[in-house]
Each structure stands twice: as structure tokens, then as C-alpha cells.
Structure 1
Amino acid sequence: MDSLHWLRQGDAVTQASALLLLAMSVASWVVIFWKLRLMRRAHVDVPRSTAAFWQAPSLAAAAERLPAFDREGLVLPLVRAAQQVEQAGAATLAGQGGLSQRLTRVLRDALHGVLGKLQFGQVLLATVGSTAPFVGLLGTVWGIYHALTAMAGAGQISIERVAGPVGEALIMTAAGLTVAIPAVLAYNWFGRVIGRIEADLEGFARDLRELVIDTNAADSGR
């Protein structure tokens, strides 16, 4: 017996549930593979990029050499933001105020952009992990309901006739769990990795801010 014949013969709700689970699975695995590549590069590139930055003779030289180390562009936006503060004039509100205030603002904005790139896809993984089991359960309940309705209309109900359709409908519950479990595991693991990278980037942003302030103060005192 074809275990999926009930799906082909099912109504719009059953087929829509199956298609939705398929779309969730494809989307989550695309995000998982993309983020695996991003996290692997970020885990290596952030320490290398910060080390290369501190070995550079100046901020401008560091901005020129960082692209060779920062493949995903996680550290370079912070350095370029600090450069813009140094070069900005006072013709606009963005160029007014103390150096510390301007650095805090631009580094915060740059850091939010970098963290947004790292966090991309997390919402989708969380959504798939939390909703896929219920989508599968909906397909199961709906399939069982229609199987029992069809048998009741036929006028013959026995455990042998019930077991087959009910067992086939339970496949939807298993499908929902199969879609949800990888998404939940990936969400949790990526969250821990992102937390470590985020701490490194925030620490670098604070050090960069202090460096620019101290350098500007030293130049002004000469």
C-alpha cells in the first residue's frame, strides 16, 4: 500500500499542510547552511581582523588591510565608521557635538548593522521550530477526521480498517517534528556562537572608541 496515497487523495487542508511543512523545511535548511558558512568564517575572521587592526600603524592603514582578513565585513564597518567621525565636519548635526558622542553614535549604528547580519535567519528558525509541530498535528487531525468520516459513510468500521488510515495520517505529525527539530537545534547553537562573536565585536568597538579619543586628545595637545 502506498503510504502517501491519503495525501494525494486529501483535501486542500491536508495538502496545504504538507506543502507548508515542505516550504518550512527548505527555508530552514537554506538558512542553516548559509549561517554555518557565516559562523565558521566569523569565528575565524573576527580575531584575525582585530589582530591585524592593532598591528596597523594608523586607522587609515588598518582600513586598507582589513578586507583581506574580514571576508564577511564584520569588523571593517566599525573601523570605517570611526574614520568618518574623524573626517566629518561641523556643517551638519551629525558633525556637531563632542567627539565621544559622535563616536558612540556611529559605532553603535555600525555595530547594529553587523549584528543584524549575524542575527539574520534566527527569527525564521525560531518560527519554524515553534510552529512546524502544530502544522503537522493539524494535518494529522484533519486526515484522521476525514478517514473516520469516510469509513462511517461506508457503514463498516473495524480496528483493521481504522488502523491503516490513522497510521498514515500520523505521518504528518512525524513530518512536523522532523522539520522542527533541526530548526530548534540550529537556532540554539547559532545563538550561542552569535553571543560570543557579539561580545568580541562590542569589546573591539569600545577599544576603538577609546583609541580614537586618546589619539585625538594627544594630537590636540601638541
Structure 2
Amino acid sequence: MTDINSLIHDGTIWLLVAFSIVTWALVVIKIVQTQRASKQDKRFVEAFWKAKNLSDAVTKSESGQGPAARVANAGFKTLIEADEKTHHDLQNSWSRQDLLERHLRKQILTERRQLEKGSALLASIGNNAPFIGLFGTVFGIIHALQAIAHSGNASMDVVAGPIGEALIATGIGIAVAVPAVLAYNYFVRKVKAIGADLDDFATDFVSLNQKAGFQLPTAKTKNTAETTILNDASTKEVKEKGVFA
């Protein structure tokens, strides 16, 4: 029984060490991810609002990187594919504005989910590490008391050493939990800040396209070109008929 208690105590410590490694690995990964997303968004938003027109904005969105660029791409793609004149299914039964807002919200939620990956694991480690440490301490104390009982000596010198070793698991559990909780709270605030910036950008994006009637210049140019080609063909055909008549 003594060996089992000792194994449980030692296994708990190694488990907490593994949790600590996972925690710091996630911290490094999430810092790189959130910092890169923030820099990419700042760079793209500045370039986006410096665009000369919507056609230039579409080009910048296609070449941009980061959550904001992907949100803008989703918006422009929605406007390109939208057609209020034909309602083939429920997907296309929305108005252009409603369809745009819906796809922007969907893309923002997707970006937030990507940024939130790993946060649940940090929260779980932060909440459970102290209890895992206490679990190991309990079995460590049982092992220490059994060893003291077999030795038949209950002096302070004999008791202090084994009990102190048993409490190491609790200390390691707290040492693992504190960074995990702090990191979780930091990344939650960071993701909320990035999400708020995306919401603001999406609102301005809708307002910008509302001024243009939710019609992209590229689509208008294409339609105008097609109309011109058809008119030229018709004119040519009329002239040919007139010549041969």
C-alpha cells in the first residue's frame, strides 16, 4: 500500500510538470497568434481606408492578411455573389444588406473561434491544478505517516521531512495554476479587443457599401461592358443587313 501511495504522489507531480509545460507552450503560441493578428489587422485597416475606391479596396482585401482582411473578403465575396433579382433558394432570399451583415457576423465568429483555441485548456489547467496538487499531497502524507509508524519514532526531525516532501505537490499545483489563470484572463481580454475592432470595422464596412447601394464597381463595370458588347454586335448586325439589303 505504501508503494502505491508513493507512486500516486510522484505521478501527480509529473502530471503537474506536464501541465506546466503545456501551459507555457500555449502561452508562447497564443502570444504570437494574438500579436500577429493585431499587427495584421492594424496594417490592413490603414491600407483599406487609404484605398482610392471600392475596386482598389477589393484588391487590397484579396492581397491582405489577418482577421480583418478575411472579414472584408467575406463581405466583398457576398456582394459579388448576391443578386436580389433572382431568388433561387433561401440563401439568396435575403436583401443585400441583410446578407452582407449575416456573412460578416459569421466570419467574425469564425475568427474569434480561431483566436480562442487553447483558452479552454488554459482555464481547465488553472482550475484543476491546485486540486491535483492537493490530491498528490494527501497520498504523500499517507505515505509519510505510514513510514513514521513503521519507524516507531514520531519526533519532529522524523516527521518534518516526509510531510514537507508531501506538501511539494500542493506547491507545484499552485505554481502551475497561477500562470495558467493569468494567461487565460489576458488572452480573453485580448480576443475581446480584437473582436471589438472587427465589429467596428464590419459596421464601417456596411456603411461604406451602403453609400454605393451595396453594388461593387467591378460588377457594374462588367455589366456595362457586356451591354456595350451586345449593343455593338446589334449595331454591326443592323449595318450588315442594311448593306446587303
TM class by shorter chain equals 0.7 to 0.9
User: Does residue 1:125 correspond to 2:122, yes or no?
Assistant: yes
2:13 to 18, 29, 44: 18
Map residues 100-119 of structure 1 onto 2, 5 A cutoff: 100-119=97-116
What is the distance in 2 between the residues matched to 1:158 and 1:67?
Answer: 76
What is the distance in 2 between the residues matched to 1:50 and 1:43?
Answer: 11
What is the distance in 1 between the residues matched to 2:196 and 2:155?
Answer: 62
Partner residue in 2 for 1:4 = none
Structure 1 residues 217 and 38, CA gap change in structure 2 (3 angstroms):
closer
Partner residue in 2 for 1:33 = 28
C-alpha displacement of 1:69 = 5.2
**Any unmatched runs of 5+ in structure 2?**
217-245
Structure 1 residues 68 and 23, CA gap change in structure 2 (3 angstroms):
farther
The normalised TM-score by structure 1 is 0.84
Structure 1 residues 131 and 15, CA gap change in structure 2 (3 angstroms):
same
Identity %: 36
Partner residue in 2 for 1:47 = 42
Contact 1:129 1:184 in 2 (8 A): yes
> Per-residue displacement from partner, 1:89-134 (whole Å, max 9, x unpaired)?
4433222211122112111110001111222221111111111111
> Per-residue displacement from partner, 1:133-187 (whole Å, max 9, x unpaired)?
1111111121011110222133332221110001111111111111111111212
Contact 1:52 1:66 in 2 (8 A): no
Contact 1:125 1:186 in 2 (8 A): yes
What is the distance in 1 between the residues matched to 2:62 and 2:180?
Answer: 32
What is the distance in 1 between the residues matched to 2:19 and 2:40?
Answer: 31
C-alpha displacement of 1:17 = 1.4
Amino acid at match of 1:43: S
After TM superposition, the runs of 4+ consecutive aligned structure 1 residues lying more than 6 A away are none
Partner residue in 2 for 1:85 = 78
**Any unmatched runs of 5+ in structure 1?**
1-7
Structure 1 residues 58 and 11, CA gap change in structure 2 (3 angstroms):
farther
- More moved, 41-50 vs 25-34: 41-50
Structure 1 residues 166 and 208, CA gap change in structure 2 (3 angstroms):
same
Q: Which has the larger radius of gyration?
A: 2
Partner residue in 2 for 1:165 = 162
Amino acid at match of 1:79: A
> Per-residue displacement from partner, 1:56-102 (whole Å, max 9, x unpaired)?
244454344347653xx211221121122212244332222111221
C-alpha displacement of 1:9 = 8.6
Task: Provide the alpha-carbon RMSD of the alignment.
Answer: 2.4
